[in-house]
Chain A
Amino acid sequence: MAKTRMREQDPLARIRNFDEVALGLTEEEAKNEAARCLECKKAACVGECPIEIDIPTFIQYIAKGEFENALNKIREKNALPAVCGRVCPQEDQCEKACVLVKKEGAVGIGDLERFIADWEIANNSKLKTPWPAEHKSQGRQNSKLEKRKLKEKVAIIGSGPAGITCAGELAKSGYDVTIFESLHKPGGVLTYGIPEFRLPKRIVDVELEYVQSLGVKIEANFLVGRTKTIDDLRKDGWRAFFIAIGAGLPYFLGVEGENLNGVYSANEFLTRTNLMKSYLFPEYDTPIKVGSIVGVIGAGNVAMDSARSALRLGAKKVYIIYRRTEFEMPARIDEIKRAKEEGVEFALLTHPVRFFGDENGWVKETELLKNELGDPDSSGRRRPVPIKGSEFRMKLDTVVCAIGQGPNPLLARTLTNLKLDEDGNIIVDKNHMTSIEGVFAGGDIVTGAATVIAAMGAGKKAAQAIDRYLKG
């Protein structure tokens, strides 16, 4: 039996709206898809999941139609199933390890996770257990210890995937957890970065409500380092800190003309669109300006999100401009496919070397060089080598730089003894502790820009380390 694919909005229709593209599975479809699972004794999929969800068990529950049990099984390990079901690169993780991958195709683990999470949202009020059974039983088993340890204050800095996961885990263990978020809305990259059509914001809200139901407090509009420093918070009684501020600093190419009008960082382009809802301008006050021919530099998920957002914002033509070939693109295969279906064009083996502006300072033309692939670089991908004399020009009136993000130095500047690596990422030991006692870190601020699920895995491990630290 072949994999059941989720229905999707028609490409021609969806580029006119910001509604979710993938429509999810019906109950019947989910049960059929779950029935494909061979229930391997030694399930390789679990080993590939950074947060070790008991995948075969939750899938068996779905096959039997026991959706609440499936939900509780996922929730044991995952505070954000509706998010992970949508944005995890399952094809590189759990689904890659599925024994069916080379036969009729891997079980749609991500789609099934999403199905259960969406089922929970639709049936929330009817559920018997507002939080996982595991949480309750653990609470009973450890009630004496937990009572003694309860109330120790832990501060989580940043409300993205790493922060939310760490906060949820610590709250489950009985700590008094507050997340500090600098933006007016929590969620980190889930809120400001990933577009509505890939991850609807109501889904993020529901996941955040769940974490709050565990007792986590969220303090928005609070920039640690400016509103208060970690030292201030220590004086206020916080005992441990988890820095999960992500990779917030946009990288630029470092070429001439980069500060012209109409050249955006992907961060800006997506934050205006998602967080500030510029796609609803002028009903919302924050504007965005998209020209008729847009070039998005880069080919990761952020680039695909930018390109597809640009189409929805009214661009006539959108190019992904990438220095290597499609094979090396870091974006998810499904997202590349969807971008193509929507009409995004790909200018491969090429990179911009200069932007030209008009008299008012607006980008109008871009000079690019063609590349050929050379030997593999440190990432294992073949290095792009510019071809001499291959300069050519493209008329682009909007450019979005989606070539990656690095660590935002703002918080580190306020911590004198915080050790950073040469890229500015925070150095941690095997317990996720930084060079400062009681201050932990995880997610993109440690590893450099990576995935939602990797950040969640770090958040979970850090929570365990913080628990050990506070129990001394």
Chain B
Amino acid sequence: MPHKILEKTRLNSVMWKIVLEAPLVAKSARCGQFVIVKIDEKGERIPLTINDFDLKKGTITIIFQEVGTTTKRFGCLKKGDSVKDLLGPLGRPTDFGEAGKIILIAGGVGIAEILPIAKYAKNNANFVLTIIGSRSKELLILEEELKKYSDKLIVTTNDGSYGLKGLVIEPLRDTLAKEQFDLSYCVGPDIMMKAVSEVTKACNLKTFVSLDANMVDATGMCATCRVTVGGKTKFVCVDGPEFDGHLVDWDRFIKRQKRFVDEEKRSLELFKSQHKECIYRGGEDG
């Protein structure tokens, strides 16, 4: 069953927000879960976090960044087009419930993934402090939406074009030096999740991270997404995507994430040579 793209909005030069027709997924989806999208016959099976879902309309919202060939090709689809295959919801749902004071940290496209967590945290009567960071003002997304679910929101940009200049790690350190928290939750680039986990570990603050790993079936069958957590091999697809950030073997995980970089480059070059019109469309929507 193909899934129609009902809405497509450009969030910035590399990120899209897409509302997909997906009544079955919308019905079962819970916070923290993801879907596998395979846009067409030749596409990869890519895991994407369910950013939002609407039971009545039978839709799910996903936000993604154009990185590799499949996501770039996804970006080329227009409103009214369909994605061929969609599987979900997958992964264990978020269930930290009422934890008390929570600090959320997100970076890059991870900000899209922290939004449902913020919503969940707020709905479960937690105090929510959110720190988000992006490379520049242009790449920053969902600030207004996150304000709704955060008691306090701190924004950083690497280049200082908006909010505090620098990385999320600095305001995180400052905040933790002043205040006690009960839980932290981080989604973003692997290197950021690693750094955040190191900081929170030093002050013994329980930290969940939501890992984004390369997957194939995403049902526990291929084990390509395996990660070492607390000395044990876990599968991100079925045991995660949430893990205790203090227990993740980050160096191993980060190296594993790079295992197809050469192939990805090759694939992208081929794509660019074949799809000039699509790539260079510029800021146009849908």
B259 within 8 Å of A (CB atoms): yes
**Which of A184, A258, A286, A362 has the most chain B CB atoms closer than 10 A to its own CB?**
A286
A360 within 8 Å of B (CB atoms): yes
The docked-state distance in angstroms from the alpha carbon of A322 to that of B136 is: 54
Q: Which of A93-101, A111-119, A267-275, A312-320 contacts B (4 or more CB under 8 A)?
A: A267-275
Chain B proximity of A282: nearest CB distance (Å)? 4
Chain A neighbourhood of B38, CB < 8 A: 184
Chain B neighbourhood of A288, CB < 8 A: 263
User: In the bound complex, do residue B1 and residue A250 qualify as a contact, i.e. CB atoms below 8 Å apart?
Assistant: no
Chain B neighbourhood of A281, CB < 8 A: 263, 267
Chain B residue with Cβ nearest A248:
B221
User: In the bound complex, do residue A268 and residue B223 qualify as a contact, i.e. CB atoms below 8 Å apart?
Assistant: yes
User: In the bound complex, do residue A361 and residue B87 qualify as a contact, i.e. CB atoms below 8 Å apart?
Assistant: no
User: In the bound complex, do residue B222 and residue A261 qualify as a contact, i.e. CB atoms below 8 Å apart?
Assistant: no
Q: Which of B12-20, B40-48, B101-109, B276-284 contacts A (4 or more CB under 8 A)?
A: B40-48
User: In the bound complex, do residue A249 and residue B220 qualify as a contact, i.e. CB atoms below 8 Å apart?
Assistant: yes
Chain A proximity of B38: nearest CB distance (Å)? 6
User: In the bound complex, do residue A285 and residue B43 qualify as a contact, i.e. CB atoms below 8 Å apart?
Assistant: yes
Chain A residue with Cβ nearest B39:
A285
The docked-state distance in angstroms from the alpha carbon of A249 to that of B222 is: 8
A227 within 8 Å of B (CB atoms): yes
Given that A184-B38, A259-B256, A289-B260 are contacting pairs, would A223 and B90 also be in contact in the complex, using a CB cutoff of 8 Å?
Answer: yes
A327 within 8 Å of B (CB atoms): no
Chain B neighbourhood of A282, CB < 8 A: 69, 263, 266-267, 270
Chain A residue with Cβ nearest B224:
A268
Chain A neighbourhood of B70, CB < 8 A: 285
**Which of A226, A271, A360 has the most chain B CB atoms closer than 10 A to its own CB?**
A226
User: In the bound complex, do residue A259 and residue B217 qualify as a contact, i.e. CB atoms below 8 Å apart?
Assistant: no
Interface size class of A (residues with CB under 8 A): 35 or more
The docked-state distance in angstroms from the alpha carbon of A192 to that of B45 is: 14
Kindly identify which residue among B69, B226, B259, B267 contacts A289, using a CB–CB cutoff of 8 Å. B259
Chain A 408-422 near chain B by CB (<8 Å), digits 1 or 0: 111000000000000
Chain A proximity of B104: nearest CB distance (Å)? 26
Chain A 265-303 near chain B by CB (<8 Å), digits 1 or 0: 101100110011100011111111100000000000000
Given that A248-B220, A259-B228, A271-B221 are contacting pairs, would A361 and B85 also be in contact in the complex, using a CB cutoff of 8 Å?
Answer: no
Chain A residue with Cβ nearest B70:
A285
Given that A221-B87, A287-B263, A287-B264 are contacting pairs, would A267 and B255 also be in contact in the complex, using a CB cutoff of 8 Å?
Answer: no
Chain B proximity of A271: nearest CB distance (Å)? 5
B233 within 8 Å of A (CB atoms): yes
Given that A184-B85, A227-B28, A285-B44 are contacting pairs, would A262 and B223 also be in contact in the complex, using a CB cutoff of 8 Å?
Answer: no
User: In the bound complex, do residue B86 and residue A221 qualify as a contact, i.e. CB atoms below 8 Å apart?
Assistant: yes
B89 within 8 Å of A (CB atoms): yes
- What is the size, in residues, of chain B's interface with A at 8 Å between Cβ atoms? 47
Chain B neighbourhood of A126, CB < 8 A: none
Chain A neighbourhood of B258, CB < 8 A: 261, 360-361
User: In the bound complex, do residue B86 and residue A250 qualify as a contact, i.e. CB atoms below 8 Å apart?
Assistant: no
Given that A250-B223, A287-B263 are contacting pairs, would A272 and B42 also be in contact in the complex, using a CB cutoff of 8 Å?
Answer: no
Kindly identify which residue among B221, B224, B227 contacts A408, using a CB–CB cutoff of 8 Å. B221
User: In the bound complex, do residue B220 and residue A361 qualify as a contact, i.e. CB atoms below 8 Å apart?
Assistant: no
User: In the bound complex, do residue A267 and residue B263 qualify as a contact, i.e. CB atoms below 8 Å apart?
Assistant: no
Chain B 54-76 near chain A by CB (<8 Å), digits 1 or 0: 00000000000000111001000
Chain A neighbourhood of B158, CB < 8 A: none
User: In the bound complex, do residue A250 and residue B222 qualify as a contact, i.e. CB atoms below 8 Å apart?
Assistant: yes
A252 within 8 Å of B (CB atoms): yes
B24 within 8 Å of A (CB atoms): yes
B241 within 8 Å of A (CB atoms): no
The docked-state distance in angstroms from the alpha carbon of A204 to that of B163 is: 57
The docked-state distance in angstroms from the alpha carbon of A52 to that of B100 is: 64
B178 within 8 Å of A (CB atoms): no
A210 within 8 Å of B (CB atoms): no
Chain A proximity of B142: nearest CB distance (Å)? 27
User: In the bound complex, do residue A259 and residue B226 qualify as a contact, i.e. CB atoms below 8 Å apart?
Assistant: yes
Chain B neighbourhood of A192, CB < 8 A: 217, 221
The docked-state distance in angstroms from the alpha carbon of A276 to that of B214 is: 14
Kindly identify which residue among B45, B69, B87, B255 contacts A223, using a CB–CB cutoff of 8 Å. B87
Chain B neighbourhood of A262, CB < 8 A: 259
Kindly identify which residue among B24, B217, B260 contacts A183, using a CB–CB cutoff of 8 Å. B217
Chain B neighbourhood of A287, CB < 8 A: 260, 263-264, 267
Chain A residue with Cβ nearest B266:
A282
Chain A neighbourhood of B27, CB < 8 A: 228
Chain B proximity of A163: nearest CB distance (Å)? 15
Chain B proximity of A212: nearest CB distance (Å)? 15
User: In the bound complex, do residue A285 and residue B69 qualify as a contact, i.e. CB atoms below 8 Å apart?
Assistant: yes
Chain B proximity of A258: nearest CB distance (Å)? 7
Chain A residue with Cβ nearest B89:
A226
Chain B proximity of A234: nearest CB distance (Å)? 15
A178 within 8 Å of B (CB atoms): no
Chain B neighbourhood of A226, CB < 8 A: 28, 88-90
B154 within 8 Å of A (CB atoms): no
The docked-state distance in angstroms from the alpha carbon of A408 to that of B219 is: 8
Chain B neighbourhood of A182, CB < 8 A: 87, 217, 219
Chain A proximity of B211: nearest CB distance (Å)? 14
User: In the bound complex, do residue A289 and residue B263 qualify as a contact, i.e. CB atoms below 8 Å apart?
Assistant: yes
Chain B proximity of A40: nearest CB distance (Å)? 43
B169 within 8 Å of A (CB atoms): no
Chain B 124-168 near chain A by CB (<8 Å), digits 1 or 0: 000000000000000000000000000000000000000000000
B238 within 8 Å of A (CB atoms): yes
The docked-state distance in angstroms from the alpha carbon of A262 to that of B259 is: 8
B275 within 8 Å of A (CB atoms): no
Chain B neighbourhood of A408, CB < 8 A: 219-221
**Which of B68, B70, B219, B224 has the most chain A CB atoms closer than 10 A to its own CB?**
B219
Chain A neighbourhood of B266, CB < 8 A: 282
Kindly identify which residue among B85, B220, B233 contacts A252, using a CB–CB cutoff of 8 Å. B233
- Identify 5 residue pairs between A and B in the complex whose beta-carbon atoms are under 8 Å apart, listed by A's number: A250-B223, A259-B226, A282-B270, A285-B73, A410-B219
Q: A249-B220, A252-B223 are in contact. List 8 more A-B contacts (CB 8 A).
A: A184-B38, A221-B87, A267-B221, A276-B45, A281-B267, A285-B42, A285-B70, A362-B259
Ranked nearest first, the 3 interchain pairs of A and B with the lowest CB-CB distance are: A361-B255, A287-B263, A268-B222
